[in-house]
Amino acid sequence: MIKLIVGLGNPGLQYEKTRHNVGFLFLDRLSVGFGCAWSESSRFEGFVSDCLVGDQKVLLLKPQTYMNKSGESVGKVVRYYKIKCEEILVVHDELDFDVGISKLKFGGGHAGHNGLRDIIAHLNSSNYLRLRIGIGRPVTGRSVADYVLSELSKKDWDDLEFVFERAQKAIPKIVSDEMPVVMNRFNMK
C-alpha cells in the first residue's frame, strides 16, 4: 500500500515548466484531481498535501531542496510518519524513455539520476516504487544539464498530458496495492 507519493523537481519559477520538473507537474495534477491543497512545510523542506485516494490517506510531497538534495526532504517525511520504503512512490523524469512513454518500476539503482541517488542515500534503500516519465535524450552535442532544464515544446506537453492522464487513472490501484495488475497494464505500450 502506498502512503507517500513524491514528485521530483526543482523549486522556483525558472524551473516550473522544465523537463526535470515532470514529477512536480504530475503531483500538481494529482492534487487537483483528488481535491487536495498544498501547504508549505519547513519541517519537511517541501510542499505537502494530504489526499484521500479511494479510502486510503496518501501524503503528496514536492521537496523544495532542489533535485540533488531531494533525499533530505523525503527522509524527514519517512522518519516522521514511520513510512516503509515499500510504501513510497517516487515520480521522476526519465532520459531513457521518449516523451510520451512512462513505466512503473520497483527498486533498482539511480541510473545517474541525482534526485534518486540522494533519496537512496537518505533512505539507505532503493526498495521503493518509481513512476518513470520519459523526457527523451538531448541531441548529440547538447549537455544533459541544459536539456533537462529546458522548457517542454507544445508537442511534448501534449504527449505528457496523455501520460499524466493515464498515470492519474492508475494511482488509485497503485495506492490500494494492486501492483501486479497495474504494472502489467501500465507498462504495456
| Residues with catalytic roles | 20
Using an 8 Å Cβ cutoff, are 8 and 24 in contact? yes
- Consecutive H or E run containing 97: none
- Consecutive H or E run containing 164: helix 154-175
3-state secondary structure of 24: helix
DSSP letter string over 100-142? T-EEEEES---TT-HHHHHHHHHHT---SEEEEEE---PPTTS
- Which of 19, 37, 16, 27 minimizes the C-alpha distance to 62? 27
Alpha helices in 6-96 (DSSP H): 22-33, 70-81
Report the distance separating Cα 177 and Cα 189, nearest Å: 22
